[in-house]
Amino acid sequence: MSEPDQAADEGLIQRAFSGPVAIALSVLALFIALGHIYVAFAPIISEFQRNAYHFAGFAFLAAVYFPVLRGRTRSRALLLADFAFGLAVAAAAIYLPAAENAIYDRGVKLNLFDATAIAISVVGGIELTRRLTGWVIPALVILSLTYIGFWGKYVGGVFSFPGLSWETIAFRSVYGDDAMFGTIARISSTYVFLFIIFGAFLLRSGAGDFVINLARAVAGRMVGGPGIVAVIASGLTGTISGSAVANTASTGVITIPLMKRAGFSPKFAGGVEAAASTGGQLMPPIMGAGAFVMASLTLIPYETIVAVAALPALLYFLSVAFFVRIEAQRMDLPPMKSDGETFRSAFAKGGASFVLPIGALITMLIMGFTPAYAAVFGIIAVVVSSWLTQNRMGPRAVVEALIMGTKGMIMTAVLLCTVGLIVNVISTAGIGNTFSLMIADWAGGNLLIAILLVALASLVLGMGLPVTAAYIVLATLSAPALAGMIADRVVIDTLVLGQLNDGARAILMLGAPEHIAALSGPMPYAQAVDIVQALPLEIAAPLRDLTVPPEAALGALLSAHMIIFWLSQDSNVTPPVALAAFTAAAIAKAPAMATGFASWKLAKGLYIVPLMIAYTPFLSGSAGQALVIFGFGVVGIYGLAGALQGCMEHRFGWVMRLLAGAGGIACLWPDPLWLNIAGALVVLAVLVYNIRSGPTVRRAAV
């Protein structure tokens, strides 16, 4: 009946069917994809119905494809049990929208059928998430639900919760705004799934091959070219898949052998691919599911998020490329011989099916179309543009892409719906505000300490949670605290300039009476920082409301969420659990932990860029400011990479390393501008001296 098959997404073992069963499941997958596309244009059902039906379809597919016991894919008895379980969960989810009006008519009272359907849906979400991601998320869901129902009242202090009836918990778990079929499920059933389908069409049209060919044409003959090919290919593939592990698996089978053949060690080659592929979830326009979740949580338009995310993502990929080139120079590796690939040949083979749809997608977003509409028209553009390439998409290819997109969405759909149970508890119990207050208290108002706390939490959560789930949990818990601290920069500048309005001055006189004399005019920067960091929240919050303009407050919120989103990626490349690095290690035939540490070293941009976002107007400022910050960031990260590796174009000693490192840090320092300029001059001077220090004798190209 079935054979084991390695899933393309997180290394899961799934059933592979043949014959009538395979056809029936493919037809169901096709129906699910077409249904979502149709509803995107013609919302003939309510949002709650769409979300519930979305979960029902993917829950059934998850139950059938992923067995209750891993490795038992051949057992017919288990298959029948999983089939029945999937049907039960799907039927329960379909029943709940039909029962909604009757529940309200009874005064929000559940009858036996309602309670049973909710229980089956919740238990189904927990069990299927266990199959797909392990025990961490199910354990968090169970702890969350029992916290507000039972043991929360025994917790002392600020986290004590009196408890709700199980009937209320059941109702809110499904019908609440932040519940299982609420906000997060809405994101999954609209933007995320449509963009997953869009990516599947790109892959089916041959766009993935074009990406590799283009990267070879650009960087294949450069020093460190195979590694830079991996960086470019993973960045462009990120616009298709938005998954670090999928990126690693798809591009790594080509780029890792290329890097090894060029002379890079297996662990370094795997590390490069993992670090570059991690950037795929940072690369607009898809950014995994993160951009859509961020847009929902912040109410900031999706197109604004992807627009401001472009330069930070490019900076990250440049940081990885710098490490690759410097390592090649340090090892005296020659450029590889040309394989004959050129821009012209790459575009002739498949360029139209990638460039035109991506261009159409970005254009529609800029024009103000919703991401859902843009994704659907992007899918159409892929099909049309494929006829300008060697890989034309006919009806069969279209059907295959729709089915591939649905199957690629299974884990994400089940995960996002189930995570809604945790978000609902956080919202119901007010844990998010309490946790944010604790972060602010532990950090003592210091933004750097707060970011370090979030980074530590993201690493711990990332050991058991997929990236998107880690971001959702962390953003719900800590974004308000980070946003407030970032907004405090405006308050500090206002104090320094002595431009407080009367209301803000009155509040500060209450919160900091010992500084009344200093509030009448300008003050030193250090004094302003001390005053703001020492303010209790009941003073700091209204002070921000009176001092920080709405656009600056929105920029602070976006910066906070982007910082958390970036930090949530580190679990892909940070041991002891580094899924992308371990996937790359398997391809490179290298030790898993050694590859993990290599990828962690190469992915330093994951920590540098969030600090730049926190302390500069990288996201919240004008386009000109962003470009200036980006420019200094490029020079600064190159200086730091050279200092860490002890090489730029040639190796150098500790004196040059110290100068390069100091110059790099000065470039990245938030202000003043003269320090950035001085740092850039130091880095460039070290580079010029290094180039003139002597030619490198290279071995013959392989």
Q: What are phi and psi of 601, to 5 degrees?
A: -65, -40
Q: Report yes or no: 667 and 686 within 8 Å, Cβ to Cβ.
A: no
Q: Is the pLDDT of residue 113 over 60?
A: yes
Distance separating alpha carbons of residues 557 and 498, to the nearest angstrom: 25
**Helix, strand, coil fractions of the chain, as percent rounded to 5:** 75, 0, 25
The count of other CB atoms within 10 Å of the CB of residue 101 is 9
The DSSP bridge partners found for residue 13 are: 6
Interacting residues of 593 by C-beta distance below 8 A, sequence separation 6+: 575, 576
Question: To the nearest whole percent, how much of the chain has pLDDT over 70?
Answer: 94
pLDDT grade, residue 696 (50/70/90)? very low
**Least confident interval from 190-204, 418-432, 513-527, 634-648:** 513-527
- Residue 17 parent element (H or E): strand 13-17
Q: Is the pLDDT of residue 49 over 80?
A: yes
Q: Is the pLDDT of residue 3 over 60?
A: no
Q: Which of 134, 354, 119, 120 is nearest to 239 (CA)?
A: 354
Cα–Cα distances in angstroms (integers) from residue 588 to residues 247, 304, 317, 582, 611, in the given order: 15, 38, 21, 10, 32
The DSSP bridge partners found for residue 15 are: 4
The count of other CB atoms within 10 Å of the CB of residue 368 is 10
Average pLDDT over residues 337-358: 79
Coil, strand, or helix at residue 284?
coil
User: How much is the pLDDT for 240?
Assistant: 67
pLDDT grade, residue 701 (50/70/90)? very low
Span 209-251, pLDDT tens digits:
888 888 878 776 777 778 888 888 877 776 666 667 777 877 7
DSSP class of 651:
B
User: How much is the pLDDT for 11?
Assistant: 52
Distance separating alpha carbons of residues 346 and 118, to the nearest angstrom: 53
DSSP class of 6:
E
User: How much is the pLDDT for 241?
Assistant: 64
Count of H-run helices and E-run strands, the chain? 31, 2
Helix pair angle (579-588, 266-278), 10° resolution: 140
DSSP class of 336:
P
Distance separating alpha carbons of residues 342 and 319, to the nearest angstrom: 25
- Residue 4 parent element (H or E): strand 2-6
Average pLDDT over residues 509-536: 82
The pair of three-digit structure tokens given for residue 117, joined into one six-digit string: 């359907």
The pTM of this model reads 0.84
Q: Which of 654, 10, 649 is nearest to 331 (CA)?
A: 649
The count of other CB atoms within 10 Å of the CB of residue 154 is 10
The DSSP bridge partners found for residue 2 are: 17
User: How much is the pLDDT for 196?
Assistant: 86
Span 619-667, pLDDT tens digits:
988 889 999 999 999 999 999 999 998 888 888 889 999 999 999 999 9
User: How much is the pLDDT for 686?
Assistant: 94
Pick 242 or 439 by higher pLDDT.
Answer: 439
Mean pLDDT of the residues in the chain: 86
Q: What end-to-end distance do the CA atoms of the chain give, in Å?
A: 48
pLDDT grade, residue 404 (50/70/90)? very high
Cα torsion angle, 519, 524, 530, 532, sign:
positive
User: How much is the pLDDT for 21?
Assistant: 92
Q: Say which residue the tokens 């490192």 belong to.
A: 661
Question: To the nearest whole percent, how much of the chain has pLDDT over 90?
Answer: 37
Span 463-494, pLDDT tens digits:
666 777 888 888 888 888 899 999 988 888 88
pLDDT grade, residue 685 (50/70/90)? very high
Coil, strand, or helix at residue 545?
helix
Q: Is the pLDDT of residue 88 over 90?
A: yes
User: How much is the pLDDT for 220?
Assistant: 66
Query: Please, what's the largest Cα pairwise distance for the chain?
Result: 85
User: How much is the pLDDT for 558?
Assistant: 94
pLDDT grade, residue 7 (50/70/90)? very low
Pick 241 or 312 by higher pLDDT.
Answer: 312
Separation of CA 148 from chain center: 29
The pair of three-digit structure tokens given for residue 390, joined into one six-digit string: 């060697």
The DSSP bridge partners found for residue 5 are: 14
Pick 297 or 350 by higher pLDDT.
Answer: 297
Interacting residues of 609 by C-beta distance below 8 A, sequence separation 6+: 312, 315, 316, 566, 633
Q: Report yes or no: 429 and 147 within 8 Å, Cβ to Cβ.
A: yes
Interacting residues of 396 by C-beta distance below 8 A, sequence separation 6+: none
Each domain of the chain, given as residue ranges in start order, spans 2-156, 430-564
Distance separating alpha carbons of residues 294 and 187, to the nearest angstrom: 10
Span 539-568, pLDDT tens digits:
888 888 888 888 899 999 999 999 999 998
Q: What are phi and psi of 594, to 5 degrees?
A: -65, -40
The pair of three-digit structure tokens given for residue 279, joined into one six-digit string: 């950037």
The pair of three-digit structure tokens given for residue 70, joined into one six-digit string: 């891993």
Q: Say which residue the tokens 């979300």 belong to.
A: 51
Q: Report yes or no: 512 and 523 within 8 Å, Cβ to Cβ.
A: no
pLDDT grade, residue 702 (50/70/90)? very low
Distance separating alpha carbons of residues 638 and 163, to the nearest angstrom: 54
Q: Is the pLDDT of residue 289 over 80?
A: no
**Least confident interval from 266-275, 301-310, 509-518:** 509-518
Q: Report yes or no: 624 and 306 within 8 Å, Cβ to Cβ.
A: no
Distance separating alpha carbons of residues 661 and 682, to the nearest angstrom: 10
Q: Say which residue the tokens 């059902």 belong to.
A: 45
